Chains A and B, each alone.
Chain A
Amino acid sequence: MTETVAPTTPVVVEEQETKPGFVGTSIPRKEDRRLVQGEGVFFDDIKRHGMGFVHFVRSPYAHAKIKSIDVSRALELGDVYGTLTGDEVAILTDPFFELTVPPGSEIKDYALAVGKTRFVGEPVAAVVAATRELARDAAELVEVDYEPLEPLIDAGPRGPCADPA
Chain B
Amino acid sequence: MSEPVARKTIAVEVNGTTYERDVEARRLLVHFLRDDLDLTGTHVGCDTGNCGACSVIVDGTLLKSCMMLAIQADGGSIETVEGLGGDGDLHRLQEAFSEHHALQCGYCTPGMLMSAKALLDENPEPTEPEIRRAIQGNICRCTGYVNIVEAIASAAEAAR
Contacts and interface: CB of A to CB of B under 8 A. Distances in A.
Contact of A28 (B43, B97, B98, B106): B98
Interface in A25-41: 26, 28-29, 31-33, 35-41
Interface string B13-45: 000000000001011000100110011111110
B27 A33 contact: no
A108 interface: no
Most chain B CB atoms below 10 A, which of A26, A29, A36, A40 = A36
Nearest to B84: A37
A132 B94 contact: no
B82 A35 contact: no
Contacts of B109: 35-36
A15 interface: no
B90 interface: yes
B85 A37 contact: yes
Interface of A: 26, 28-29, 31-33, 35-42, 44-45, 47, 132-133
B103 A44 contact: no
A31 B109 CA distance: 13
24 contacts: A26-B101, A29-B98, A29-B101, A31-B106, A32-B98, A32-B103, A35-B103, A36-B90, A36-B97, A36-B98, A37-B41, A37-B81, A37-B82, A37-B84, A38-B41, A38-B42, A38-B80, A38-B82, A44-B40, A45-B34, A45-B40, A132-B27, A132-B31, A133-B24
B91 to A, nearest CB: 8
B110 interface: yes
Contacts of B98: 28-29, 32-33, 36
B113 interface: yes
Contacts of A26: 101
A38 B39 contact: yes
B24 to A, nearest CB: 5
Contacts of B101: 26, 29
A38 B39 CA distance: 8
Contacts of B113: 36
B143 to A, nearest CB: 11
A132 B35 contact: yes
Contacts of B97: 32, 36
Contacts of B103: 32, 35-36
B6 to A, nearest CB: 10
B26 A44 contact: no
Nearest to A133: B24
Contact of B106 (A40, A44, A133): A40
Nearest to B24: A133
B106 A35 contact: yes
Nearest to B6: A133
| Nearest 5 interchain pairs by C-beta | A38-B41, A35-B106, A38-B81, A45-B40, A36-B94
